[in-house]
Structure 1
Amino acid sequence: MDNVSSHPGDAIRIIDLTRQTDVQFWCRVFDVSMDQLRDAVHHAGHQVEQVERYLRQKNIHAL
């Protein structure tokens, strides 16, 4: 199975921290720094919905 894309509109959105374009895109979407995004992914996993939930709980800007 191919890697799941992290672009909006996909059924399952994954944040790929190894792709600079993904990191920049999701930092803009969530209005967070790279360090904050990496921390959120570390704690919540790579799925966008989990990261968004984590950031909201931490009171960090998220959508």
Structure 2
Amino acid sequence: MWQIAKAVMFAFVGIRKKSDLENDAATLKPSQVIIGGIIGAILFVLCIMLVVRLVVS
């Protein structure tokens, strides 16, 4: 689970070592990465909404 979260976080940022990328490609299934990406995107949007509400109020 941590490997999926780490791969998704680095994908959002856009930085990754080539060796880590190759390791993820060999060990992770595409469905795992897709589900992790969806969960990561939802968490990102919720955090942005929380920050906006804190700043506006």
* TM-score normalized by the length of structure 1: 0.28
Q: Larger radius of gyration, structure 1 or 2?
A: 2
With a CA cutoff of 8 Å and minimum separation of 6, indicate the structure with the bigger relative contact order.
2
Larger helix fraction of residues: 2
